Chains A and B, each alone.
Chain A
Amino acid sequence: MPHLTEEDLILHYYGELQSDDAAHVAGHLRECTACRGAFTKLQRVFAMVDAAPEPALSDGFERIVWARLQPALDRAPGGWARWFVLSPARLAWLAAIVVLVGAAFVAGRLSQPQSGTATTSVSVAGKELRERVLLADLSEHLDRSQMMLVDFVNASSEQDVDVAIERTRAEELLSANRLYRQTAVDTGDLALAQVLDDLEQVLVDVAASPDRVSAEDLAAMRVRIDDKDLLLKVRVLSSEVQKRQRRQISVRAGQSS
């Protein structure tokens, strides 16, 4: 009588065998000590897998999820509609943006070269523009993160400290940081992604903290910031981004002269 295969045992365990096959395997297991032993071991392996603990999540996990999610919801279709309807001031902003974009489009049409290289030029210009906007945004994000970290590190630590303002700033920065990190990963800029990842972990810590933290907790968070040399890394990165911006500006100046 041939023994059951491991595949038979797995399908039997999950109840995936057709009724005839299931009856055959069940019958075999009753009679064959070796196969029964193998099936018992498989069950124990699965029991071990089931008993493994779930990944630990911080107490403030839900709050962090919400802090990251909320800005994206505002940009989602439903969010946009409410944003548009509820605020006349924002409506005026939107109108101004529409006018500016329209003017830029018309200007682009009027100044478009007539040669065969027109499409390439427009595409290169578009790419440069996107990169400029991204660099400007990233630069601002790093500056704001740096300021938040400096304030946090320099907060008085003699007794319980009110970090509600820093916490709110960290929550705001988290969502943008995540997008920049994902973009860096997608474009293969791993050095940038690593710094943003380190920054994100600290932002998560700050965003998840209560309004008031004890001197000990504050000291522990400072140690985490120091251990990673985070402030220095963010400063260096910010300076790199600014250099890239300046290089772009000088290249464009050279092209236009």
Chain B
Amino acid sequence: MPHTDAAAVALARDGDSEAFRALVERHSRAVYRLAHRMTGSPQDAEDVVQETFLKAYKQLGRFESRSNFGTWLHRIAVNCSIDLIRARPHREAAHDAADLDQFDGDERGDATRVSPERLMLSTEVQDAVAAAMYSLSQMERAAFALRHFEGHSIEEISRALGLKTNATKHSIFRAVKKMRVALEPLVSMD
């Protein structure tokens, strides 16, 4: 197995499938994590992993060897996640139907209603974070994941998502507000 990504890429370009397999083994978990954060669905994340490596394989010839393979793959994975989100607009509509004000007042999720004792359990916190993430629309989740977890600037996210800067900011604000409403009661227990 090649020791570096650069060596593996060079071999994979020459048709060495084991070298490409090494790249898949090194990077598939990171791609899955990114895709899962952006899509919020294990099934969609698996599909994004497949699509990302398939695209990477087809485009290996265009990869510049002085670049970082992980960074290049990350960009492809972001684009694949966005393509998938755009191709499945029905879930976006379902989430957007829940008005934020209503969410604020009535739909705070289970996290705000559990007892203090139960909140002490870390699994409750994990569940609350997962529920809060699930309450985001697909575009809110994608924008929030790119800003919060991946560290992209709002300008970069706007370009990637094809949104105006203000629309991107608005998506992030809505996402953070939903997260805050769901999770702040847990924070206050400290």
Contact = CB atoms under 8 A, between A and B. Distances in A.
Interface in B163-181: 169, 172-173, 176-177, 179-180
B28 interface: yes
B114 interface: no
Interface of A: 6-7, 10-11, 14, 16, 41-42, 44-46, 48-49, 51-55, 57, 61-62, 65-66, 68-70, 72-73, 76-79, 82, 178, 182, 197
A89 to B, nearest CB: 19
7 contacts: A10-B173, A14-B148, A62-B29, A70-B17, A78-B57, A78-B60, A197-B43
B152 to A, nearest CB: 10
B29 A57 contact: yes
B33 A55 contact: yes
Contacts of B21: 66, 70
B20 interface: yes
B47 A182 contact: yes
B186 A48 contact: yes
B126 interface: yes
Interface in B37-59: 42-43, 45, 47, 49-50, 53-54, 57-58
Main SS class of interface, A: helix
B36 A45 contact: no
Given A66-B21, A78-B58, A49 B183 contact: yes
Contacts of B42: 55
Contacts, number: 95
A40 to B, nearest CB: 9
Given A7-B173, A70-B17, A52 B53 contact: no
Nearest to B87: A186
B187 A44 contact: yes
A11 B180 CA distance: 15
Interface string B96-136: 00000000000000000000000000000110011010000
A52 B32 contact: no
B176 to A, nearest CB: 5
Given A49-B183, A57-B29, A178 B17 contact: no
